[in-house]
Structure formats: C-alpha cells, structure tokens
Structure 1
C-alpha cells in the first residue's frame, strides 16, 4: 500500500469514510474515532451510505471534498476494483478491495487488508500457531473466504481444504489459487476436518439473526486452532463446541480491528494499537 498522504498536502483535518449499503451498523466509525482521540490526531471518519448505481460518481467527488481515503464494504468491494486507478496485487488476487487511498492528484489506490487482518488476529491471540503444522480447513467460499485463502497460503499452509454449500464457488477458488486447495462436498464437511490443525468458518452461519452452522465437529483435533469470522456473538456456537473439544479458539472481532489499522496509518499517519480497549470500543 502507498505511503501516508503528507500532512503538508492536507489543508484541513483529513476526512475518511466507510462506503457501503447498508452502513449504519458499521463499527468502523467508532473504532477510528477512538484511535483519533487516543493519539490526539485531527480528522473525521464517517459512515457513507452509497447505492451501487452512485458508487462511481461518489468516488469521483470524495477526493475533491477533502477525503483522503475510504474503507469499502458490502456490496461495493468488488466494484471498486474497476473504478480504481491502481490496485495492489493482493486486492487483484482476492478480487475485492476494502481500503482506498485518494492521492493528491485525485487518483484512487485500492488495497485489500482483510487477509492481513485475519492473520494478525491469529498471531495476536494464538502466538504459537504454526500454519505449516498440518492441513487447514475452510468452511465457505464467499468474498471473505478468498482473503482467508490468500493469506493462509501465503503464511505457509501446505494443504487447504475448502467446502461450500454451492460447490462451484469452491471449485472456482481452487481454479484461481492452485493445487494446494482440495475441494470437498458440503455433505463431507465433517470428514474435511479430520487431521486439520487450522479450521476456519468464513460463512455468516452462526451470526445473530442467521441460521446456525450445522457441521459435525467430531473429527476436530484437540489442540487445533479454530476461528470464526463471525463476531456477533463473539463466542459463536461453533467456537464454543470447538473449545469444549479441546481446541484453541479465536473470535472474529480481531480481524475487523487489525484490517482497519493499515488504512488508519496511511490516512492519519499513526499506526494504531489493537488492544483490549479497541475491542471494547468496537463492541460498543
């Protein structure tokens, strides 16, 4: 990702927002407001509800309105790639961007920090985790799963098993990411967990208001690292059962916090600390 926008090129407090639809539920504004206050930095971070048909126009206007960047969430993470002037290799590989920098000349630079946030969360809460110790198993093949796949492979996972309710989506990811991926039928998810030392739920199943994740966990290895991208609730039924089976569990909130840190540093010039206070603020 490119360097922070020099303060000398900003004539007022820098503006940043999170673009999505809907966006009122986003925890990012309170997190960034906390970091701005903590470090005594000028700036504002705000929710920006944008319909898909208005995205291109909004992205042209924001740099002229004093914005130095933006986060991007559903449903715009794929569309911004076609609207950006430059795209990082990892954003192109994942097929989505979540972090934008508006350069002084108005050009838009797009990056994806979701994979970074995923790995940083594991490293923080499971410092002894060894990605190459055994196979990893990934449940789900949506947009978030692509970032997880890229980051796990980059971290040294030698075999990555993946299952999705629609098998074709998992097959598409394998076609793009290569031979280290092994696709399982959804009905075989329980078998996919056999011998896996890292297990990830990248679906929204188990989230408050969603259907539960009904996956047999009998084959889970005691001592395996199990994580869920869902963080409402923090301790999902999936994590609770894994913990009861002797697994080390990591909730999904830290991924949200860590993926936000690189953008904050580029926009406001300070690397923020992801600590218990940041978690408390994000949970509201």
Structure 2
C-alpha cells in the first residue's frame, strides 16, 4: 500500500489561505488518504524550503504571495505557460526528482468564464466578432489572465493601467493582439468592449471603490472581477444593475486548484456547488 501523499500551500503570511479548505474537501470527497497543509515561510528561508521538499515527503504544493516570482527562478523546470506568465503557483516533483513549476491561474480564470458564461462566450459577448476584452490593471494576475485569454482565442485585448510601462510589458506577450490604454481613455472605449476584467485591488474590503463604471458597455458584454472578498464587489453590483452578465472572483480560485490536485493525488476533482458553498461560508465567517 502506498503512503498517503502530502501537499501544501506556502506563503508569508499564510493564515488567510483557503487552499487547505479546497483540497481538504476534495480529499474527503474522493476518500483519498492524503493531506494538504499551510506552511508559513519567509522570503529568506524559501530557497531552503524548496530544496527540502522531497526529504520532507511532499509531492508538491501551491505557492502564493510573496513567493511566486522566486519559485519561478528556483524551480528546475518550468512549463511553457509558467514561462510566459513569469510566475509559478503550482509545484510538483517529477520521476527524476526535479522540481517542476507551473502556473494554473490562466486556465483557472478561463475555466470559470466557461462555467459561468457558457463555453460559447467568445460569440455571445461579441468578442469573436471583433469586440476587445479589456483588462484593468497590469500586475501578476493581469499577466496570467492575459495569457489565458490569448490562449482561449480572444483576438483583441486592451490593457489599461496607471503605469504605462507595466501595460507595455504585458503588450509584449503578443504585440499584434494586445493594445494599451491610459486610464483616462477607459470610459470612452467601454462602448466597444465585450469583456471587462478588473484585476486591480479596487473593490476589495480594504480598498473600496469602482475601478470603472460599466454603464457604457454594450448589453451583450460581460464583467469579471478577480476580487472575491467581498464576493459581491461594487463593479459586479453596478454591472448587474445594468443587466450585464457577471463573473465573480471566487471561481478563479477554485478552478486554478484543479490541475495541482490532479497532479498530486491522481484524481481530477470537480468544482461543485458544495465546494463553492464551503468557501463562501468561510468568507462570510471571517468578516
């Protein structure tokens, strides 16, 4: 009989992470004798932590703030997706003992779009017919989402950010399909947008505000927000008031966890209403 497999999430701080709830739910649902734990590791100790994974008995784990870029530098092998995003959030050990770094944020975001809007959202939002998707923000999450949208087939992508240099860095992913906007240009361009995505912190409980007024968007457009505390952000509320379809931030967290669990425990889990209810209850309970 094989030993129970061990996985983890590492960050600093880490107490807020809901990944143990997600993976613990799946372990229980599938009757698997494994474990998934939170580990708080400061930046100075992170290289040694990675070097000791096999000795500690781990098969892999997740990486969160502030270690995603350090993990990218320290792994032995990076997936092509991680190479493009420039950050690693999922680790595994291959048969040769090499540390493999992946980034599942891109696929997690797109999988949640598919689940919420339907797999035909490129058509129903007007994006396939030429409407661009617009990302607000140009940080690490925006880069992952940009890669996911490009890979999904979005023909035109606009990036709006207060710092032009960061937006230009994202444009380098695909200069033919990506354009940049100054923040002041956003209101005047929304009427042509098929998908609006907020990747900034505006709308979080600690940073209330509206990153953009969705009023000018066309009626077929959809609005997504990667903020999930609160789950109902000011942007999503404003979009619903206009009868626009909305995509909350929680689904990205849930869907990005699927590939790692499959890799570590050998079963591909499902994002179910029961799992979502568990995490929503935890969010509400921590308020």
The alignment covers a number of residue pairs equal to 275
After superposition, what is the alpha-carbon deviation per residue over 1:30-82, rounded to whole angstroms, capped at 9, x for unaligned? 11111000100011101111111111100011211110001011111111111
* Offset, 1:189: 1.8
After superposition, what is the alpha-carbon deviation per residue over 1:67-100, rounded to whole angstroms, capped at 9, x for unaligned? 0001011111111111111100010000011100
TM-score normalised over the length of structure 2: 0.92
Deviates more, 1:104-113 or 1:63-72: 104-113
After superposition, what is the alpha-carbon deviation per residue over 1:127-177, rounded to whole angstroms, capped at 9, x for unaligned? 041142421111010000001111111111111111012121001111233
Q: Is the 8 A contact 2:213 2:235 kept in 1?
A: no
Unmatched segments (≥5 aa) in structure 1: 1-7
* Offset, 1:221: 1.2
Secondary structure at 1:227's aligned position in 2? Answer: strand
Aligned equivalent of 1:108, options 96, 99, 119: 99
- For residues 51 and 211 of structure 2, the distance between their equivalents in structure 1, rounded to whole angstroms, comes to 44
Give the alignment of 1:76-95 within 5 angstroms. Answer: 76-95=67-86
- For residues 85 and 11 of structure 2, the distance between their equivalents in structure 1, rounded to whole angstroms, comes to 19
- For residues 255 and 195 of structure 1, the distance between their equivalents in structure 2, rounded to whole angstroms, comes to 25
1:121 partnered with 2:117: no
Give the alignment of 1:185-196 within 5 angstroms. Answer: 185-196=182-193
Aligned equivalent of 1:32, options 13, 23, 26: 23
* Offset, 1:262: 0.6
Tell me which of the two structures has the higher relative contact order, counting C-alpha pairs closer than 8 angstroms and 6 or more residues apart: 1
- For residues 157 and 211 of structure 2, the distance between their equivalents in structure 1, rounded to whole angstroms, comes to 21
* Offset, 1:235: 1.4
- For residues 222 and 262 of structure 1, the distance between their equivalents in structure 2, rounded to whole angstroms, comes to 34
- For residues 214 and 16 of structure 1, the distance between their equivalents in structure 2, rounded to whole angstroms, comes to 36
Question: Counterpart of 1:132?
Answer: 128
Secondary structure at 1:101's aligned position in 2? Answer: strand
